[in-house]
Amino acid sequence: MAPRIGVVVFPGTNCEHDVVQAATAAGGDGVLLWHGDTQVGAVDAVVLPGGFAHGDYLRPGALARFSQVMGAVAEFARGGGPVVGICNGFQVLTEAGLLPGALQKNGRLRFLCEPTRLVVTSTASVLTAGSAVGDELVIPINHFSGNYTCDDETRARLQAEDRIVLRYAANPNGSIDAIAGIASEGGNVVGLMPHPERASSALLGSEDGLVLLRALVHAAASASAAT
Amino acid sequence: MRFRARVEVQLRPGIADPEGATIERALPALGFEGVAHVRAGRSFSFEVDAPDEGAARTTASELADRLLANPVIEQSRLELEAI
């Protein structure tokens, strides 16, 4: 049976159907989860998709982190379950403390919506395990607050623990070290600003996102087999 | 007792502030000179019912730290007055 990829819908989320479709194209079984759920149910991986959860009021992710489902997502992550936050989902994960640092307004205060070239810089995560270090992927970004920021200590730690998984080939938003995606200590929680689901078909101009999503489906299958 | 709280949230010193920097760059064109170190921030106000000022301060500062400011990049300053 295809591993179930639960895609969380907050009020204001707008990429959930794209992620469900792309996860399915990658060999998974994409299902929607609701922000008011107290459990994530029988899923093998969780994706927090992009959009504007709670209107991005206060700060992106600041209100979504208090959603009921986030307690269950945190527990799922603590148990080693694969959790991926894409764009707004990455912002939610940092606000929830599941990933370190914060995503600030873009360096030049511009909303950026364009394909970016990414370089895989670590394969120690559920999203990049199917890639090789140095691989280039073309995946679009679509954000105003994607400028990854953290203190020097955190940055050194991320680097030393091989947790910076994706970097921009040409830094579009001012992120420290051109960081596009990072992973948790165990590699099972990953946040990234680019949208792999928008690069999941040749019709969209790139299939590079499928490389990441297939790795996630594979990790979900292993997590499923382990329980 | 009821207290009015005002919370000011700003980016921590050393964290780049693109909004403040943009405002600062616009100043010469508007004829302002000698203005530097512009930092942008936000201000919130709310009222708190509490038995005394200490309790109101505890509630307000917890609210400021857990929700209004993201301590990773921001700091908050709280002012409280009885009303």
- Are A109 and B72 in contact (CB < 8 Å)? no
Please check whether residue A151 is in contact with residue A211, taking contact to mean a CB–CB distance below 8 angstroms: no
Hey, where are the domains in chain B?
Answer: 2-82
Asked if pLDDT for residue B14 goes beyond 90, the answer is no
Using a CB–CB cutoff of 8 Å, tell me whether A94 touches chain B.
yes
Picking from A120, A32, A48, the residue whose alpha carbon sits closest to that of residue A82 is: A48
| DSSP three-state, residue A11 | coil
Among A87, A95, A150, A218, the active-site one is A87
Q: Find out whether A147 and A175 touch, Cβ atoms under 8 Å.
A: yes
Q: Which of B11, B12, B70, B75 to mutate to test the interface with A (most CBs of A within 10 A)?
A: B70
What's the sign of the alpha-carbon dihedral A219, A220, A222, A223?
positive
Q: With beta carbons less than 8 A apart as the criterion, state whether B76 and B17 touch.
A: no
Which of A91, A105, A157, A173 to mutate to probe the B interface, most B CBs <10 Å? A105
Overall average pLDDT of the A122-141 stretch:
98
**CB A22, CB A209: distance < 8 Å:** yes
* pLDDT band at A29; cut points 50, 70, 90: very high
Please provide residue B39's backbone torsions phi and psi, each rounded to the nearest 5 degrees: -125, 130
pLDDT, position A108: 86
Residue B18, min C-alpha distance to chain A (Å)? 6
Q: Look up tokens 């998984």; give the residue.
A: A165
DSSP reduced 3-state for A58: coil
Segment A145-165 mean pLDDT: 96
Residue A156, exposed/middle/buried by CB under 10 A (0-12, 13-18, 19+)? exposed
Q: What is the ipTM of this complex?
A: 0.82
- The third-level CATH classification (topology) of the domain covering A4-226 is Rossmann fold (3.40.50)
pLDDT-based confidence at residue A227 (cuts at 50, 70, 90): low
Catalytic: A161?
Answer: no
Q: Does A172 touch chain B (CB under 8 A)?
A: no
Query: Across the strands, what pairs with A139?
Result: A116
pLDDT band at B16 (very low <50, low <70, confident <90, very high): confident
Helices (H), chain A: 16-25, 68-78, 88-95, 152-160, 208-226
Helix or strand (DSSP H, E) at B42: strand B41-49
B2-82 has which CATH code? 3.30.1280.10
By Cβ distance, the residue of A59, A109, A150 closest to B18 is A109
Q: Span A70-97, mean pLDDT?
A: 97
How far is the CA of A149 from the CAs of A6, A106, A145, A160, B64, in angstroms?
Answer: 28, 11, 11, 17, 21
> For this structure, is A197 an active site residue?
yes
A92 touches chain B (CB under 8 A): no
Asked if B19 and A108 come within 8 Å (Cβ–Cβ), the reply is: no
Q: Looking at CA atoms only, how far is residue A169 from chain B in angstroms?
A: 22
The Cβ of residue B77 has, within 10 Å, a number of other Cβ atoms equal to: 14
Put simply, the answer to whether B68 touches A58 (Cβ < 8 Å) is yes
Task: Mark yes or no for CB contact B72/A104 under 8 Å.
Answer: no
Calculate mean pLDDT across residues A202-214. 95
Short-list A46, A113, A28, CA closest to A86: A46
Percent of chain A with pLDDT over 70: 100
